Amino acid sequence: MRSLTTITLTIFSLCACADNTATLAPKSNDSAAVTALTDGLHHPWSLAFLSNDEWLITERAGTLRQVKDGTLQGGTVEGVPEVAAIGQGGLFDVLPHPNFANNQRLYLSYAKPCGEEGGTTAVGYGRYENGTLTDFQDVYVAEAACTDTAKHFGGRILFDNDGYLFLTIGDRGQRERAQNTQDPAGSVIRLHDDGRIPEDNPLVGQPDNATEIWSWGHRNPQGLALHPQTGKPWLNEHGPRGGDEINVVKPGVNYGWPVITYGREYYGPSIGETEKQGYAQPLLHWTPSIAPSGMAFITGSRYPDWEGHTANGALKLQHLNMVAFDGQQPVSEVRLLQDRKQRIRDVRQGPDGYLYLLTDSNNGQLLKLNPAE
């Protein structure tokens, strides 16, 4: 299926108010075009570019799909590990190794079955050649995060410029776990590409702590991207009823959940304080919640007006969300694709410089965002 649709963009400016709440006000309008490259995807979760003409897409139920020359191939890639496709669990991110051209290592994060009916967040890799994945092996399994709650798995993975592997793990729906550094739930972890724990991780040498942890106090990080200038990972994460966040991921930092949050209980009352000494403030929070998902930084010349913006999928409010930063200060926000009413699950910038999106549904689409003329 191929189609071309014109969309309307709304641009907002952000005002930092006394209570650290971002106030959005309409600023101007613009237009662009989106092309649906394919549909027929079943709850797609992640997109990876192996080359200019070969891409891979994960589907949450546990299947890996191949796109060649812009066309979705029939069938699925063999060799994917068994996943716990329960609740929010399933097959998550797909990511080639930085040296993929030479070692053919393809990384997958997923909900690994554990216990009688539970799952936990895991990451591993296999050798990908000619449409087949072989010799898959786990490099990390969050054994302590095994639970049958079936939610808040996190599951985003990222390599930084030094070759370290980052993985997000949600609080598994048990919020107090995000403050327990003996437990990887509610954290971002940092590993060598083979799963070894780096000696300079912040909790190394501290007895009884989970030394894979890089940062903690996270609820459910669903987007992870490398800043193009600083080389540092940034993430977005879900709050409860409001309080979604964008954060820079720094070693040894406690991001506060659930001690501090701008979100509220789903039934109304506040959860904790909005700020407290010893807990990091988000760079930006969304209230009401947009339910942010995949995240990318826009680089290159395809979208000159959006250079350096963060592009974030939005599941609940069903749009593509772009935020401009001056350093770490948010200065403007753009909401795209609201008229399409689609849950945006993943956002990636392709090797050609264009933005590609995955929509989360039983008949999910792969979209290409064309720049405004």
> Which residues are catalytic, by number?
152
Among 366, 353, 373, which residue's Cα sits nearest to residue 2? 366
Tell me, rounded to whole angstroms, the distance of Cα 9 from its chain centroid: 23
Q: 297 is written with which tokens?
A: 């930084």
Cross-strand bridge partners of residue 203: none
Is-contact 22 16, C-beta < 8 A?
yes
Using CA atoms, how far apart are residues 244 and 170, in angstroms rounded to an integer? 13
Write down the residue that tokens 């087949």 correspond to.
132
Question: Which run of H or of E encompasses 247?
Answer: strand 244-248
What is residue 241's DSSP assignment?
Answer: B
Using CA atoms, how far apart are residues 185 and 312, in angstroms rounded to an integer? 23
Antiparallel, parallel or unpaired: β 132-141 and 118-129: antiparallel
Q: 371 is written with which tokens?
A: 């720049």
Using CA atoms, how far apart are residues 317 and 103, in angstroms rounded to an integer? 40
Using CA atoms, how far apart are residues 242 and 255, in angstroms rounded to an integer? 16
Distance from the first to the final alpha carbon of the chain: 24
Write down the residue that tokens 């903690």 correspond to.
216
